[in-house]
A and B are shown apart, each in its own frame.
Chain A
Amino acid sequence: MAPRTDAISRRQLLAGGASLAALFALQACSTGEKTETPKGTAGGGDPWKQFSGTTINFISENTSPSAAIAANLAPFEQLTGITVKVQQMELDKVVEKCKLDFSSGTAQNHVIYADPYQILAPMADGLADLRPLLDSGNYPAVDKGLGDFIDTQLQATGSFIDDKKLFALPYDAPTMILHYRKDLFEKYGPRAKADLGFDPTPSDSMTWQQYLAVAKWFNENARSDVAYGIGAQAKQHDALQCDFSNVLWSFGGDYFEKGQSLGLRGSEEPGAVTVGSPAGVAAATFYRDLLKVAHPSSTTWDWTGLADAFVAGEIAMCPNWHEFAAGEEKAFPGKVGYALLPKGPARRAHIFGGTGIGINANAKGDELGAAWLFVNWATSPQTQLMSLGSKVGGGTPTRTSVYELPEVKAEEGKSPSKFPNIRTAETVLKAWQAENIGLRPKVAQWVELDTIIFTELSKMLTRGADPAATMAAMQQQMQKAMQ
């Protein structure tokens, strides 16, 4: 296997390199081009029917609105004659699939569940600009116009850096709020109040310190009804970053110098990484203390695991996405209450997990047109109302007009409810106010930063690493990733 072979394999290598170059030259990309606005030929003048007969694919995280839509596609198919196949999977998988699909040069998935942080920001080049479609007279107009979408959500889920482009329309709006078992607090409330000196029932005035104290009290006094006072979503997973962010912001910390202002449109220059600040360390220290009293399996739970545990009656309260309300209502009808998250020294922060749906930039012709009709339909007030009442999930409307419908208003806080997720509406609407909402920085590197954040936190929680050292390591690695 000496020099002779080497020469040959070198030649092969060159040949391989050449064919490789040819392979890469195949790329036919359309980045930066204006999205086309194809006109369909079917349907005899009905703009909804013009792409009749087309089949499109919709890839989505397995969220309740998508479950509701997947289970109730018939109205759309009747309206348009378009067949929609919905694929639902965990968010991690959606991110991977989109990355592969956008890279493949073709469009396997036409409609994309574009998580603003994990898909929109890092892969904006793979998504079509929706403005030309919105402005074109070829399609039915968006009902009630863009103004009907809650404005912060339209920006946070739809735009990235360039305000002239719109990549997605707000599709769902999960936001973390405090979920608690009313029945347990009714039973133990008076005793706990006597012991602790304040009303333990979660309310809009609760602080994180009080939350911690109540958790401990439950651990010590309520074992016969519930295993632990609180749980957390502290698996080495995106969920851990989300759970921690609430605490970080409420303690006055943030990931970047430009802080919350990065949440809406995002930026290529977010400023210095500030996560290692004293506020960051204080937040980490508190979060670690919190996890010491939380259900010990918390470090294996993401949001789904936490919701499962809550529904199984393992914990009395926890912060989680509000759209889990529907499942909780099934398990404990009328017994689950919702409140704002506890207050920290600086503010109160509720991480916003809303997502828009957009269109794959590789989609062309009828498929592009059909995808746009679907995006339009899926985010319309009527569809959001339908999702709210769905048996398999329950949507989280992104339109002001839906929350104002009398039939929706009537369901707020009711049990049994036609629209179980609306039980949380009062709390969620407060959580969305500018001073209460928590927004992650929208930067292209977010997935990597996210991984650094939840990995370091996981080390702190499970290996007993020092909070200050944890935040310093996080800061240092995040800086490196931003270079």
Chain B
Amino acid sequence: MTTIRPPAARSMSRLLVPALAVVIAVWAGLPLLWMLLTAFKPDTAIRTSHPTISFTPTLDNFRNLFLGGNRVGAYLVNSLVVTGVSTVIAVVLGCLAGYGLTHWASRYKRDVAFWVLSTRMAPIAAVLVPLFVMFRGAGLVNTIPGLVLAHLSFNLPFAIWLMSAFFARIPESVEEAALLDGCTKWRRFRTVSLPMARAGIVTTAVLCMVFSWNDYAFSSALSGPDTATLPQAAGALVTQSGIDWGLLSALAVVVAVPMLIAGLAVRRHLVSGLSLGAVTGE
């Protein structure tokens, strides 16, 4: 990030700002740190009314997560497949449509853009029931393709929305130059625009991935025992002999770590991606 520091910021903010920054970091990070620690704690160190940080670390929670009756391994595979496939489809179709929308000269452009946006805004609870009825008719309930399609219902509009913003940033002069060179529109898209929007594609892909990976509501209504995804396992760990917080923390670590890494990797692009995203309206 370009850091243009106001020189005079030195005065009062020299102490205050770092202090506030520490407070903010603790606020955001402490629960996650606690979760991480809990994942490595033995049960006795968790079930105590005096939360402690002195304990003998153990991998038992992770072992129990993947072995034993929890079947988390199968969930993990489902999650990978659903997330992967739905992300790829969303990004490919999103690139095409995003580009099309950006350059489409029509008086319906705004309406289409709005419609795309509104499908992303549709409340999950409202969509679940009819989607279930529809999938039931099509035999898609409890199937991986069904889940992929369900995830597309929110990721596709999002990808279109974001990609069209990225394409809109490419200077018109560049595009026009390509056309003058005798390129067809398709070639211009493939050889000029697409490479220039690389950052946007990565950002879009990562965000779609995060949404799909973290989805709970859709997969809990539309997946069956053979197609359940990772967040579903969370429900299974709330057992009758007590909520197993150790297992749950281990699961949270398994679910969160890939997303945290991916998210931080594209952090920079995220800023411009999200902030520009909203200009699609025009």
- Judge A-B direct contact (beta carbons within 8 Å): yes
Measured CB to CB, the closest approach of chain A to B133, in angstroms, equals: 8
Q: Does A79 sit within 8 A of B, measured CB to CB? A: no
Interface members, chain B 228-262 (any A CB < 8 Å): 228, 235-236, 238-243
Interface members, chain B 3-48 (any A CB < 8 Å): 47-48
Interface members, chain B 47-70 (any A CB < 8 Å): 47-49, 68-69
- Taking CB atoms, residues of chain A closer than 8 Å to B224 are 57, 101, 108-109
Contact A64 B241 (CB under 8 A): yes
Bitwise, B209-243 to A at CB < 8 A (1) or not (0) is: 00000000000110011101000000110111111
Please pick, from A24, A57, A106, the residue contacting B225 in the complex, using a CB distance under 8 A. Answer: A57
Q: Which of A155-163, A210-218, A307-315, A471-479 contacts B (4 or more CB under 8 A)?
A: A307-315
Q: Does B190 sit within 8 A of A, measured CB to CB? A: no
Closest 8 CB pairs of A and B: A108-B224, A23-B137, A70-B69, A62-B239, A57-B225, A104-B141, A327-B241, A308-B242
A151–B142 CA distance with the chains assembled, in angstroms:
37
Chain A residue nearest in CB terms to B132: A100
Chain B residue nearest in CB terms to A105: B136
Question: What would be 19 A-B contacts, judged by CB atoms less than 8 Å apart?
Answer: A26-B137, A57-B225, A61-B240, A62-B236, A62-B238, A62-B240, A63-B240, A67-B239, A70-B69, A88-B236, A106-B141, A303-B240, A304-B238, A308-B242, A312-B48, A312-B49, A313-B49, A323-B240, A392-B69
Contact B236 A89 (CB under 8 A): yes
Bitwise, A313-342 to B at CB < 8 A (1) or not (0) is: 110000000011011000000000000000
Contact A93 B220 (CB under 8 A): yes
Contact A88 B49 (CB under 8 A): no
Contact A108 B242 (CB under 8 A): no
Bitwise, A82-119 to B at CB < 8 A (1) or not (0) is: 00011111100100100011011110110000000000
Q: Does A290 sit within 8 A of B, measured CB to CB? A: no
- Taking CB atoms, residues of chain A closer than 8 Å to B49 are 312-314
Contact B241 A90 (CB under 8 A): no
Q: Does A393 sit within 8 A of B, measured CB to CB? A: yes
Residues of A within 8 A of B (CB): 23-24, 26, 57, 59, 61-64, 67, 70-71, 85-90, 93, 96, 100-101, 103-106, 108-109, 303-304, 307-308, 311-314, 323-324, 326-327, 392-393
Chain B: interface residue count, which band? 20 to 34
Q: A23-B134, A93-B220, A108-B142 are in contact. Are A308 and B243 (CB under 8 A)?
A: yes
A70–B64 CA distance with the chains assembled, in angstroms:
13
- Taking CB atoms, residues of chain B closer than 8 Å to A64 are 240-241
A108–B139 CA distance with the chains assembled, in angstroms:
12
- Taking CB atoms, residues of chain A closer than 8 Å to B241 are 64, 67, 304, 307, 324, 326-327, 393
Q: Does B187 sit within 8 A of A, measured CB to CB? A: no
A109–B227 CA distance with the chains assembled, in angstroms:
12
Contact A67 B238 (CB under 8 A): no
- Taking CB atoms, residues of chain B closer than 8 Å to A393 are 241
Q: Does B198 sit within 8 A of A, measured CB to CB? A: no
- Taking CB atoms, residues of chain A closer than 8 Å to B185 are none
- Taking CB atoms, residues of chain B closer than 8 Å to A59 are 225
Q: A85-B225, A104-B142, A105-B136 are in contact. Are A67 and B242 (CB under 8 A)?
A: no
Measured CB to CB, the closest approach of chain B to A281, in angstroms, equals: 33
- Taking CB atoms, residues of chain A closer than 8 Å to B235 are 89-90, 93
Contact A307 B242 (CB under 8 A): yes
Contact A57 B134 (CB under 8 A): no
A-B contact number at CB 8 A: 93
A71–B239 CA distance with the chains assembled, in angstroms:
14
Q: Does B71 sit within 8 A of A, measured CB to CB? A: yes
A392–B241 CA distance with the chains assembled, in angstroms:
9
Chain B residue nearest in CB terms to A101: B224
Measured CB to CB, the closest approach of chain A to B113, in angstroms, equals: 15
Chain A residue nearest in CB terms to B141: A104
- Taking CB atoms, residues of chain B closer than 8 Å to A61 are 240
- Taking CB atoms, residues of chain B closer than 8 Å to A85 are 71, 225-226
A392–B43 CA distance with the chains assembled, in angstroms:
14
- Taking CB atoms, residues of chain A closer than 8 Å to B132 are 100, 103-104
Contact A71 B136 (CB under 8 A): no
Measured CB to CB, the closest approach of chain A to B228, in angstroms, equals: 8
Contact B69 A304 (CB under 8 A): no
* Given A108-B142, A327-B241: 17 more A-B contacts, CB < 8 Å: A23-B133, A24-B137, A26-B137, A59-B225, A61-B240, A64-B241, A67-B240, A70-B69, A85-B71, A88-B239, A90-B238, A103-B132, A104-B141, A108-B225, A109-B225, A304-B241, A312-B49
A147–B71 CA distance with the chains assembled, in angstroms:
36
Chain A residue nearest in CB terms to B134: A23
A79–B199 CA distance with the chains assembled, in angstroms:
58
Measured CB to CB, the closest approach of chain B to A70, in angstroms, equals: 4
Measured CB to CB, the closest approach of chain B to A61, in angstroms, equals: 7
Contact B136 A103 (CB under 8 A): yes
Chain A residue nearest in CB terms to B140: A104
Contact A71 B69 (CB under 8 A): yes
- Taking CB atoms, residues of chain B closer than 8 Å to A311 are 47, 242
Chain B residue nearest in CB terms to A24: B137
Contact B240 A108 (CB under 8 A): no
Chain A residue nearest in CB terms to B128: A100
Measured CB to CB, the closest approach of chain A to B72, in angstroms, equals: 12
- Taking CB atoms, residues of chain A closer than 8 Å to B240 are 61-64, 67, 303-304, 307, 323-324
Residue among B221, B225, B243 with the highest chain A CB neighbour number at 10 A: B225
A303–B240 CA distance with the chains assembled, in angstroms:
8
Measured CB to CB, the closest approach of chain B to A324, in angstroms, equals: 7
Residue among A90, A303, A314, A393 with the highest chain B CB neighbour number at 10 A: A90
- Taking CB atoms, residues of chain A closer than 8 Å to B221 are 96, 100
- Taking CB atoms, residues of chain B closer than 8 Å to A67 are 69, 239-241
Measured CB to CB, the closest approach of chain B to A182, in angstroms, equals: 21
Bitwise, B81-116 to A at CB < 8 A (1) or not (0) is: 000000000000000000000000000000000000
Q: A93-B220, A105-B136 are in contact. Are A304 and B243 (CB under 8 A)?
A: yes
A286–B235 CA distance with the chains assembled, in angstroms:
34
A24–B136 CA distance with the chains assembled, in angstroms:
9
- Taking CB atoms, residues of chain B closer than 8 Å to A312 are 47-49
Measured CB to CB, the closest approach of chain B to A232, in angstroms, equals: 17
